[in-house]
Structure formats: structure tokens, C-alpha cells
Amino acid sequence: MKQMFFVKSHDHPVCAPIDVKPFLGDPELHWKPHGSAWKLAHRWVEANGLPEAVEGLLASSPETAGAQLVEGTFEFDVDLRTPGRKSQTDLMALIATDNGPTIVAIEGKVRESFGPRVAQWLPLEAPAAGRFARLARLCEVLELSPQNCGPLRYQLFHRTVSAVFEAENRGLDRAVMLVHSFCPEQSSKADFNAFLAAMGVPAIVGDGLTPAVCRGGVQLSFGWLTDD
């Protein structure tokens, strides 16, 4: 059987969900039963491919119709091309579709937020030079104004750019940034839709995929899936 999942790199194959735990930022804190890392690993690894709910969501869009998982890497690092830490995507998947290969960057959530707001992460009155440069670069890729993004959640910026950059790194022109939520109350959905509005993308009501917008030469879509 073809190896479907890895963690960090091909040097670390994932044969069971627990194999992801040692590579989390804080394994004891982040690997909790029914927490987002635990849920995401169990749902995908036990499916040994695309989970049924994810497959159905991708099939709902002509841009990702016929989706099949090629491989997925948990805790995948992406260089943001500015000084500072890499962005660690929960699960970076390469999928085959009727329209060709596509990168899907998956962010698992239960009730966590998308991190601090930009105004909290980067004090606008006296920004640290490194953070200002990083924010400027992320906004350049996303075609946003750094001056207008204070209320938005910072994690959404670097996770989205990670999807774009990883598509570029692989010579692909299609990417999806997908939130795989395990929260019935859809915690943080309002923050996600606020980010979409800034990107000029329609809000997602319920579950769904947005039309693609071109960012960094990549056709980029956003998705939200609430899994039970």
C-alpha cells in the first residue's frame, strides 16, 4: 500500500495518528484527546486518503472535482521568504483533480482562535522591523494593505501565503486554504469570513468553497468544513 502520510518530511512516515504527536510545537499541550491536532490526525490517517466529508466538499466545486489524495504531510514547514520562523501548516496535502494537481493547506480547529489580531501581533505605533517586513510581504502576496488589516487574525495571513508559496515551490498554479473544523458552533467562523471579505471573496455560509482569486500567480480558493 502506498504511503499516504508523513510528518515534517518523507523521513518520517505516519502509520498511526500518534506518530504526529512528537512533532507538535508542544506535544503534551497540543496532543489532547479530541483537540484539533488529535482530531485532524485521526480523521485523515484513519481514512488513509481524503476523509469522506473532505472529498464531498472538494467535489462540490468544478475547480477541485475528482479530488484524490496523492500525499499529505502534517506539521509542514513553509519558508515565508522573510526573516523569522517558518509557518507550520497543520496538514499540507497534494491532491490530484480533474483540472490537475492542487495544493490544499489544511488548518484544523476545534474552539481555538486564528491567533492574535494583526494589531496585537504588530503594534502599529511602534512595529518591530522584522514583523513589519514580514507583514508587508504577506500583504504584498495577498494584495492587502498593511494599514487596514489590524482587526484581522494574523494566522490567516501566513497560513494562506503558505498555500500560495507551496504551490509555487512545486510549480503548481492552484491552491486551497481549507479550515477543517470540529466545532459544531463554528468557532472563529466570523473571523474567517472577515478575512475573506478583506480578500474580496464571498463569505462562506455553512460549509463550502469560494471561487478562486489569483494571488502570487496561483489560483487560490478558500474552504470551510464542519466535521462531526
User: What pLDDT shows up at residue 173?
Assistant: 97
One-letter amino acid at 76 equals F
Distances (CA, A) of 76 to 8, 107, 212: 5, 11, 23
Least Cα distance to 157 among 186, 199, 124 occurs for 199
For the segment 45-60, the average pLDDT, to the nearest whole number, is 96
Average pLDDT taken over every residue of the chain: 95
3 state DSSP class of 202: coil
Q: How confident is the model at residue 127 (pLDDT cuts 50, 70, 90)?
A: low
CA–CA gap between residue 144 and residue 158 (Å, rounded): 13
Q: How large is the average pLDDT for residues 169-198?
A: 96
How do the domains of the chain map onto residue ranges? 5-115+154-226
pLDDT of residue 130: 87
What's the mean pLDDT in 15-30?
Answer: 95
pLDDT tens, residue by residue, 129-172: 789 999 999 999 999 999 999 999 999 999 999 999 999 999 99
Give the percent of the chain with pLDDT over 90: 91
pLDDT at 34: 87
Confidence of residue 126 (pLDDT cuts 50, 70, 90): low
Mean pLDDT confidence for 25-41: 94
pLDDT at residue 124 tops 60: no
Confidence of residue 228 (pLDDT cuts 50, 70, 90): confident
166-171-177-178 Cα dihedral, nearest 10 degrees: -100
**Confidence band (pLDDT; 50, 70, 90) for 113?**
very high
Entry pTM: 0.96
